[in-house]
Amino acid sequence: MKNWFPPLVILGLSGLGLACASQRVQEQVHILFNHLAQGADPFAEVNKFFDEQLRNIQQTLDRLADALEGQEA
């Protein structure tokens, strides 16, 4: 079984190379990379969500600290 691995890898890589050599595939790859380059940051929405959640946690902790200080005084 181990003896089949290197030839299969070489066959797969050569097939991938032949597929990329065709004009149609090159155009599709070019379109894909252009689309990815022009797209927005994929993590921007997640970062915005985490920032909002951290802001809410900080506000809650501030209110809790104020309430505890009020009880001590």
| pLDDT tens digit sequence for 34-60 | 887 887 777 888 899 999 999 999 999
List pLDDT tens digits, range 4-34: 888 888 888 888 777 777 888 888 888 888 8
- pLDDT reported for residue 12: 85
- pTM: predicted TM-score of the whole model, two decimal places: 0.45
Helices (H), the chain: 5-21, 23-38, 44-72
- pLDDT reported for residue 60: 96
Indicate if 34 and 55 belong to the same structural domain. no
Indicate if 65 and 34 belong to the same structural domain. no
Indicate if 33 and 53 belong to the same structural domain. no
Indicate if 30 and 5 belong to the same structural domain. yes
Cβ neighbours, 10 Å, residue 42: 8
Indicate if 32 and 60 belong to the same structural domain. no
Indicate if 52 and 19 belong to the same structural domain. no
- pLDDT reported for residue 73: 65
Number of domains, the chain: 2
Distance CA 12, CA 18 (A): 10
